């Protein structure tokens, strides 16, 4: 009887093990420098951030470097919490973008104050036209392509030498990694600064089950409402700052100025 029970348990273990999918990892990292014009009315409002694209077999994850650092700290065995003001100084882009080529799916996930939100889109949204022009960037032979996305016209340079049909932000769908891409107004300009095979592949941490699925319009609205009045939003949630009326008014004035400057999103529609 004990032998039968042991055999059943053993068979059950092998069945479960066989059903488990091997854990996929990110084996490569592409680093880009993003330069963008924050204020559409001020050509001198150019800002710069480092962004990273982790690549695996049929999958990728994109975020600002600041967001990647914050996630890394929070996923340590003894997680480190970063103060909000420290985090805000590191990045203006607090979302992460996952691409799954097998499912033709893109997921953008973002924590906005106390809300964990995500939306899904079809992966391929750009009809690229590959052009004959070629040149060299970072030692890679690259070719030109043009396409339109979210009311902006883009020029991209891709290299078949890096066989990833991917790129920064939501850009993808070319026969090689996008090495450089900018819209024709040059409001947003991504340039590859480094590409490496990782000595230690990075595990895919897709803890998005707790995120509420909404539309892109809904997520954009929640983000906009928070950016317009973050202090008021936090106070409504019961957070007490202990400021004097004068200090609070000063902080709100500065945040309002910052909000008005950020009027040039990468997606215009």
Is 267 inside a domain boundary?
no
With a cut of 80, say whether residue 210 has pLDDT above it.
yes
Residue 197: pLDDT band (50, 70, 90) is: very high
Give the mean pLDDT of 192-220.
Answer: 90
Q: Is residue 122 within 8 Å of 172, Cβ to Cβ?
A: no
Residue 139: pLDDT band (50, 70, 90) is: very high
More confident residue, 31 or 18: 31
d(CA 26, CA 44): 37
Closest CA to 158 of 149, 68, 148, 171: 171
Is 242 inside a domain boundary?
yes
More confident residue, 86 or 31: 31
Is 171 inside a domain boundary?
yes
d(CA 162, CA 199): 18
Residue 19: pLDDT band (50, 70, 90) is: very low
DSSP line for the chain: -HHHHHHHHHHHHHHHHHHSPPPPEEEEEEEEEEEEES-TT-TT-EEEEEEEEEEETTEEEEEEHHHHHHHHHHTSSSPPPPPHHHHHHH-S--EEEEEETTTTEEEEEEEETTEEEEEEEES-----EEEEEEEEETTEEEEEEEEEETTEEEEEEEETTS--SB-STT-B-SSSEEEEEEETT-SEEEEEEEEEEEEEEEE-----TTSEE--HHHHHHHHHHHHH-HHHHHHHTT------HHHHHHHHHHHHHHHHH----S---
d(CA 72, CA 79): 9
Is 49 inside a domain boundary?
yes
Give the mean pLDDT of 39-61.
Answer: 95
* Percent of the chain clearing pLDDT 90 (strictly above): 63
Q: For 105-126, how does the pLDDT look when each residue is reduced to its tens digit (9 = 90+)?
A: 999 999 999 999 999 999 988 9
Tokens of 98: 């996952």
Is 147 inside a domain boundary?
yes
More confident residue, 215 or 4: 215
Q: What is the pTM of this model?
A: 0.83
Q: How many domains does the chain divide into?
A: 1
* Percent of the chain clearing pLDDT 70 (strictly above): 82
Place of tokens 């993808």: 172
Residue 90: pLDDT band (50, 70, 90) is: low
Is 79 inside a domain boundary?
yes
Residue 202: pLDDT band (50, 70, 90) is: confident
Range of the domain at 232: 25-261
Give the mean pLDDT of 195-224.
Answer: 90
Is 132 inside a domain boundary?
yes
Is 20 inside a domain boundary?
no
With a cut of 70, say whether residue 80 has pLDDT above it.
no
With a cut of 90, say whether residue 81 has pLDDT above it.
no
């Amino acid at each position: 009887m004990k032998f039968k029970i042991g055999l059943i348990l053993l068979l059950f273990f092998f069945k479960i093990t066989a059903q488990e999918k091997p854990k996929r990892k990110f084996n490569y990292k592409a680093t880009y420098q993003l330069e963008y014009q924050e204020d559409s009315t001020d050509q001198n409002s150019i800002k710069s951030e480092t962004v990273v694209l982790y690549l695996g077999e049929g999958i990728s994850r994109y975020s600002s470097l600041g967001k990647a650092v914050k996630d890394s700290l929070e996923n340590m065995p003894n997680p480190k919490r970063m103060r909000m003001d420290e985090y805000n100084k590191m990045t203006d882009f607090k979302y992460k973008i996952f691409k799954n080529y097998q499912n033709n799916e893109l997921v953008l996930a973002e924590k906005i104050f106390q809300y964990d939100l995500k939306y899904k889109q079809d992966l391929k949204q750009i009809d690229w036209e590959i052009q004959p022009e070629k040149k060299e960037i970072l030692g890679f032979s690259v070719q030109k392509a043009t396409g339109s996305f979210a009311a902006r016209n883009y020029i991209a340079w891709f290299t078949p030498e890096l066989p990833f049909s991917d790129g920064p932000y939501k850009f993808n769908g070319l026969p090689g990694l996008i090495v450089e891409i900018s819209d024709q107004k040059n409001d947003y300009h991504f340039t590859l600064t480094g590409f490496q095979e990782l000595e230690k592949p990075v595990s895919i941490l897709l803890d998005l089950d707790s995120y509420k699925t909404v539309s892109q319009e809904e997520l954009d609205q929640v983000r906009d409402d928070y950016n317009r009045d973050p202090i008021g939003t936090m106070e409504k949630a019961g957070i007490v700052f202990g400021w004097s009326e004068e200090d609070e008014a000063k902080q709100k004035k500065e945040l309002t100025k910052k909000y008005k400057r950020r009027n040039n999103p990468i997606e215009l529609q």
